[in-house]
Chain A
Amino acid sequence: MSDVKERSPNQLLLIGIIGGLLGIYLTYLLPFAGDKIGGNPAIVLRTIAPTFGALGGICAVVWGADAVRRVAKYGLGTGVPSIGQIAMGMGIIAAMFGLAIVKTIVLAGPIVALVTASILGFIVGWFAQNVIKMKIPVMIRCMTEIAASGTIIIIGFSAAVAGNFEFANIVTLVFDNGIILAVFWVGAVAMLHPFNACLGPDEKQKRLLYLAGSTGAITMAIIGIAATMTLGTSGVITLVLGIGLWIIFYKKFWDEVYHDASSVVGTGLIPKTEA
């Protein structure tokens, strides 16, 4: 395990929460601001607004991937995919509860969802630590973070498909046509894949975070394709931006691989070892 920490957990927590919530709220506030201004800017703002939900989702993926890394470092090899799934499970319950319970006070929805997710994550973490006795010191904190990032991923990408995070809107545009399953499943893989793919004794956080950005951007691109059906032009913007971000992060990831790997060879025989 690498001892060099480039980004502290708190730093990533802030990136995840602030970036995630900012993205989610911009999907709602930009069209609102556009209506105040009126004219052409209103149309532009309305079109680009849903894309910010997906960008917020990427922030949460990066945060969640690091939380998965911290908890899974304690020897959870095959448990990594399960952690991603439980994150999304808690996330979707909290997201739907939060968005549905607020009724007319739409703006409170994501915050209520985030708090609910944190409580759920805390309870699950507490059980894992004190009832199952998994003896992982960071368990409670990481489960809380994982659940919270899961809910931001769900709300962020759903908002990118539905246009905003009003519950009725999400039900018609994301649930009824089954796109929520793409959000759920691809979002979970985006979050669990970075640590799973970098697992090993020489795993480095920087490489993992670039990979998290890349998997988040792939999710964004897929959500973009889905959004072309529900929102039209906004979906195309999400798709193109997602592909662009993916290229950047994927390239960065490969730069790190070239830097970290023992040797990168075109082809060749197996080097001699003692075995």
Chain B
Amino acid sequence: MVLDLTMSMAILALMGALATIAGCLEDLESDVGSQSNPNSQVQLAPQMGFLHRIFNKAISGEPISNGMSAVIGGTVTTVLLSQKFYPLTAIVIGAFFGAIILGIFATTSYAGRVASQTRFKQPLYMDIMRYTTPSIIGHNFIMNFCLVAIAYIQFEILGYPFTIPFLALIWGISVGAIGSSVGDVHYGGEREFQNREFGCGLNTALSGRIVRKAESGLRNSIDNVWFCAKFGGPATGIALGLTVFFSSWPTTIFGYTWKAIGVGVLIVVVLIIMNRLIELNVRHAYGPYKEEKNEKEAKA
């Protein structure tokens, strides 16, 4: 389908918006279950004697698990589209299937991991299972919906030569990778080791000594997602949204020309310079990590 410039910009804006929502929800979904990087500390905690009430969703890294739910969503959508379903209905049902399957995998990983920690007396809390799993499914459903919708737009409207499951898989892997690199930072150091000084780094002796008590009562995964929704999730969303926008914007405006490639390179250079400026600014503001007195004594 050939589109005029206004229409292509509208499609690009829609894709950027969908990607932003998908990125945000992906990061929050991984935080509900303590997936990816923060998972290692949750897994280690019982071993250090720190029993907890946090969900342990060890399906795999985020790219693989999100790729899985997205490719299932894309496959089911393709099947329904071949049966002449209305596209929106097909995408919703497909996304729902992907999310349900991810939820099933989540329950088995929580139960399996806890059952493998018997010697540390970690109990399997069924209430955690009951109210965290629907939250995982819900977050993942919205993410799947956005990703399969992007894949549908690319396949049907932009005329990409790839199939919907393929595009959905690539988007799932991308969103997982970006969520893992951007959002996890916020959950890992800032939430699990909240009682330590900010920026102190993770000493080996601190491994597994995660924060287990909330503002009131015991902390669980819903408290964690509440915290991450303030910054980590939206930051991930903006990261993915901007990635989609900036990578498609040059070709939308200038077509597939050398000019577009030049603009793309220019965007990358500007981003590198901006990153460097932020880094210098942060170094200037916070300076190097100051060792505490007793740490210095311990070294000496």
Interface assignment of A177: CB less than 8 Å from any CB of chain B:
yes
- Of residues 31 through 76 on chain B, the ones whose CB sits less than 8 Å from some CB of chain A are 40, 43, 47-53, 58-61, 64-65, 67-68, 71-72, 74-76
Q: Is the interface of B mostly helix, strand, loop or mixed?
A: helix
CB-contact partner of A270 in B43, B52, B126, under 8 A = B52
Query: Measured between alpha carbons, how far is A159 from B126 in the docked complex, in Å?
Result: 39
Taking a contact as CB atoms under 8 Å apart, the answer to whether A178 and B74 are in contact is: yes
Taking a contact as CB atoms under 8 Å apart, the answer to whether A202 and B124 are in contact is: no
Interface assignment of B125: CB less than 8 Å from any CB of chain A:
yes
CB-contact partner of A182 in B40, B71, B122, under 8 A = B71
Whole-angstrom distance between the Cβ of A214 and the nearest chain B Cβ: 7
Residues of B within 8 A of A218 (CB): 101, 104-105
Q: Could you say which interface size class chain A belongs to?
A: 35 or more
Interface string of B152-191 (1 = CB under 8 A from A): 0000000000111110010000000000000000000000
Taking a contact as CB atoms under 8 Å apart, the answer to whether B72 and A268 are in contact is: no
CB-contact partner of A185 in B68, B114, B164, under 8 A = B68
Residues of A within 8 A of B123 (CB): 261-265, 268, 271
Closest to B57 in A: A197
Q: Could you say which interface size class chain B belongs to?
A: 35 or more
Whole-angstrom distance between the Cβ of B53 and the nearest chain A Cβ: 7
Whole-angstrom distance between the Cβ of B128 and the nearest chain A Cβ: 8
Query: Measured between alpha carbons, how far is A269 from B217 in the docked complex, in Å?
Result: 9
Query: Measured between alpha carbons, how far is A193 from B107 in the docked complex, in Å?
Result: 12
Interface assignment of A260: CB less than 8 Å from any CB of chain B:
yes
- Of residues 230 through 247 on chain B, the ones whose CB sits less than 8 Å from some CB of chain A are none
CB-contact partner of B108 in A197, A226, A263, A275, under 8 A = A197
Residue in B47, B53, B163, B166 with the greatest tally of chain A CB atoms within 10 Å: B163
Interface assignment of A225: CB less than 8 Å from any CB of chain B:
yes
Residues of B within 8 A of A199 (CB): 43, 58, 112-113, 116
Told that A193-B59, A198-B112, A201-B117 touch, could you supply 13 new A-B pairs with CB distance under 8 A? A177-B78, A179-B75, A181-B71, A185-B68, A198-B115, A202-B119, A222-B72, A222-B76, A225-B76, A229-B79, A257-B115, A265-B125, A274-B49
| A contacts, CB < 8 Å to B | 77-78, 80-81, 84-85, 176-179, 181-182, 185-186, 188-189, 192-194, 196-204, 207, 211, 214-215, 218, 222, 225-226, 228-229, 250, 253-254, 256-257, 260-271, 273-275
Q: Lowest 6 A-B CB distances belong to which pairs?
A: A200-B116, A178-B163, A275-B49, A178-B165, A197-B112, A81-B60
